[in-house]
Amino acid sequence: MATQDAPVPELRSRATACAERLLEAERVLLVSHIDADGLTSAGIAASALERAGIAFEAAFEKQLDEASIAAIAERGYGTVLFTDFGSGQLEAIAERERAGDFVPVIADHHQPADAETEYHLNPLLEGIDGASSLSGAGASYLLARELAAESPGGKRRDNRDLAALAVVGAVGDMQASDGKLRGANAAIVADGVEAGVLEEKKDLAVYGKQTRPLPKLLEYASDVRIPGITNDERGAVSFLDGLEVSCRAEGAWKRWVDLTDDEKRTVASALVRHAVNRGVPAFEIDRLVGTSYVLTEEAVGTELRDASEFSTLLNATARYERADVGLAVCLGDRGAALDRAVELLRNHRRNLSEGIEWVEDNGVTETEHLQWFDAGDEIKETIVGIIAGMSMGTDGVSRDRPIVAFAEKNDKETKVSSRATGPLVGDGLDLSVVMGEAARAVGGDGGGHDIAAGATIPSGKRAAFIEHADRLAAEQLG
């Protein structure tokens, strides 16, 4: 249960120590990761620093390694705030701290390396699951709450309005993959609801309820595959035309958000009946309904109104080297930055569609416990993981085993991305371990979360990597 004083009490002392250090700094370099969780982490931290009157500059890194940490040290900031990464690179960061290059403050949720630093806010250090209970944005939110508490003269003294961005980050980090945010995330949701910036409600668990016309909403809803509707444009139209609900207005298809509550219940009930009649298993049908997180201060029918769509919009900026645009949107720019973000999202969707088509045309290779494909330079390395996850369940790609995707990063390195499903994780699969150990075995490195992880390996090491990854997956899945 959230309270005004401490949404996640176990982490408050760490958050307080980090906040006190930041308030002592003359200026701060804020460095964050570039995915949706990283961008919302930066947005939360930047807002909190500005409100507390702390001078700062924001920067982004696709990957935090010794070279990038050395470059950060050369920028001459006495205090560096790392959000949504830093824990896994703590050895290199601590070495810079010992050398007097900068004092690190870390708000992260990834597995910490075996090193120590004084200002380290990470749920794993207090026994809280960083893969499902608290995201990087959530850690930044806890820090923002303590910054407000330690600087009561600042604007918006409790910073609870920033809970909305924290939820977007958690959703973007796949922490609601079982239909709802739980654990420490739930406490942050409660803060957002109390602050009036969030609404939590049961709804159809499909992507695009704010923006997609109804036929496209159902056609592209692939988390639960419904024969005759999923990936079937004519089938989706026929299904909607057969309902006793007006799904069109002035000749155009309505969106889900345009329907009344009664109309939504009618469509959802008919969709469940259709799924039952087509033999969809009961446990899959149960996944058709989940929890939606609505940002109440955003305009209805826009990409920013729904946490899932907001997170996708942010991914579309960062994956195309425009993290600055994503941060501007997080900080409230609803003009030029939002227009540019929407344009990038259109391009992102087009690239995703082409990528999925490439996978369908070229297929995947199956090992005993994995399936994989190598896109080479055909798919951008920043989106190959998203395409891998979206391909699961399409023709020829199973949802019963994890998928691993390779893409060319540069002349010397290959990017590896992996995705799993909730049931596979429930059976013991942890892709962060698989990716990390398999990558290190071939001279690379990796990590992430149990349901989604990545790695970078030397070029030419694909076969050896797959061999190690398949063995590790076999050990985890018994």
CATH number at residue 434: 3.10.310.40
Q: Is the model's pLDDT at 364 over the cut of 80?
A: yes
The Cα–Cα gap between 216 and 84 comes to 33
> Are 101 and 119 members of one domain?
yes
Q: Residue 378 class from Cβ within 10 Å (0-12 exposed, 13-18 middle, 19+ buried)?
A: middle
Q: At what angle do helices 163-172 and 136-150 cross, to 10 degrees?
A: 160
> Are 15 and 114 members of one domain?
yes
Q: Is the model's pLDDT at 306 over the cut of 80?
A: yes
The pLDDT value recorded for residue 154 is: 53
> Are 191 and 209 members of one domain?
no
For residue 213, what is the DSSP state?
B
Alpha-carbon dihedral angle through residues 58, 61, 64, 65, given to the nearest 10 degrees? -110
Residue 352 inside a domain? The answer is no
Last residue of a domain, one of 275, 295, 315: 295
Whether pTM > 0.85 for this model: the answer is yes
| Reported confidence tier of residue 395, pLDDT bands at 50, 70, 90 | confident
The Cα–Cα gap between 319 and 14 comes to 32
Contact between residue 79 and residue 92 where contact means Cβ atoms under 8 Å apart: no
Q: Is the model's pLDDT at 130 over the cut of 90?
A: yes
Contact between residue 152 and residue 22 where contact means Cβ atoms under 8 Å apart: no
Alpha carbon of residue 409 to chain centroid: 21
- Number of domains the chain contains: 3
Residue 339 inside a domain? The answer is no
Tokens of residue 276, six digits = 């039952």
Tokens of residue 2, six digits = 């959230």
Mean pLDDT confidence for 274-298: 94
> Are 168 and 233 members of one domain?
no
**Residue 242 belongs to what domain range?**
204-295
Smallest CA-to-CA distance from 293 within 378, 191, 168, 177 is with 168
Mean pLDDT confidence for 11-16: 96
Helices H, strands E: what count in the chain? Answer: 18, 15
The pLDDT value recorded for residue 447 is: 85
Measured in degrees and rounded to the nearest 5, phi and psi for residue 308 equal -65, -45
Query: Among 17-31, 144-158, 296-310, 445-459, whose mean pLDDT is lowest?
Result: 144-158
Tokens of residue 361, six digits = 């045309």
The Cα–Cα gap between 38 and 181 comes to 18
Residue 313 inside a domain? The answer is no
Q: Is the model's pLDDT at 423 over the cut of 90?
A: no
Mean pLDDT confidence for 391-410: 91
| Reported confidence tier of residue 3, pLDDT bands at 50, 70, 90 | very low
Query: Among 56-60, 80-84, 113-117, whose mean pLDDT is lowest?
Result: 113-117
Last residue of a domain, one of 252, 271, 295: 295
Q: What is the residue whose two structure tokens read 């891998």?
A: 388
DSSP letters of 409-455?
Answer: -SSSEEEEEEE--HHHHHTT--HHHHHHHHHHHTT-EEEE-SSEEEE
> Are 189 and 214 members of one domain?
no
pLDDT > 70: percent of the chain: 98
Ramachandran sector of residue 127 (left: φ over 0; alpha: ψ -120 to 50; beta: rest):
left
Q: Is the model's pLDDT at 153 over the cut of 80?
A: no
The pLDDT value recorded for residue 265 is: 94
Q: Residue 124 class from Cβ within 10 Å (0-12 exposed, 13-18 middle, 19+ buried)?
A: middle
Tokens of residue 448, six digits = 């992430």
Mean pLDDT confidence for 124-133: 94
| Reported confidence tier of residue 283, pLDDT bands at 50, 70, 90 | confident
The Cα–Cα gap between 319 and 438 comes to 25
> Are 437 and 453 members of one domain?
yes
| Reported confidence tier of residue 5, pLDDT bands at 50, 70, 90 | low
Last residue of a domain, one of 274, 295, 316: 295
> Are 191 and 225 members of one domain?
no
Residue 319 inside a domain? The answer is no
Smallest CA-to-CA distance from 178 within 384, 473, 385, 420 is with 420
pLDDT (tens digit per residue) in 167-212: 999 999 989 988 899 999 999 999 999 999 999 999 999 999 999 9
Q: Is the model's pLDDT at 2 over the cut of 60?
A: no
> Are 75 and 129 members of one domain?
yes
Mean pLDDT confidence for 327-349: 96
Residue 342 inside a domain? The answer is no
Residue 334 inside a domain? The answer is no
